[in-house]
Amino acid sequence: MNRQVHGVGSLLLVFGALIVALVSVFRESAAMGVVYLVIILVSLPTIVYAFCSKCPCEGNRCGHVLPGLFKQLLPKRDHPDYTRLDLAGLLLPFLALIAFPQWWLWKTAALFALFWVLLVIGVVEIRRCVCPDCTNKSCPICSDSV
């Protein structure tokens, strides 16, 4: 199967997990739901800027498609190597997306389980089906860069 299909599918799974988390938070607190929505709206572009904007894969070479299209709207970053700041720009927002809703997810076992199933399947899909054919040799996840 085409890695772009896997890339879009994996992102849909991750977005599905975020939607489950957002619903879970909003069910308990509208104010905290808005806070989490802001975290999502800030974190996703931050991840794309910190990580995707340095990736040489563009157009039909981008396995995730949507971040590849979105990064074209962001300032170009020429230096191909990822710095600690770039990695922090990936990890900290990702951790915020995962950690923030856990209190509310934990209150409903089905939502907690659904969130983690969607997230884990999405990440495994990225790692097993999108990463292996990626041409971003500067990526710290890329097996050729290690």
Domain of residue 32, residue span: 3-145
Counting the structural domains of the chain, the total is 1
Query: Would you state the structure tokens that stand for residue 19, as one six-digit string?
Result: 């939607």
| Residue 144: per-residue pLDDT | 54
Q: What is the pLDDT of residues 51-71, one digit of tens each?
A: 888 877 766 677 777 887 787
- pTM score of the predicted model: 0.87
Query: Would you state the structure tokens that stand for residue 92, as one six-digit string?
Result: 């900290």
Give every CB contact of residue 86 below 8 A, 6+ residues apart in sequence.
Answer: 50, 51, 54
All residue ranges of the chain with pLDDT < 70 are 1, 58-60, 142-146
Query: Would you state the structure tokens that stand for residue 117, as one six-digit string?
Result: 């199933």
| Residue 83: per-residue pLDDT | 87
* Beta carbons within 10 angstroms of residue 65's beta carbon: 16
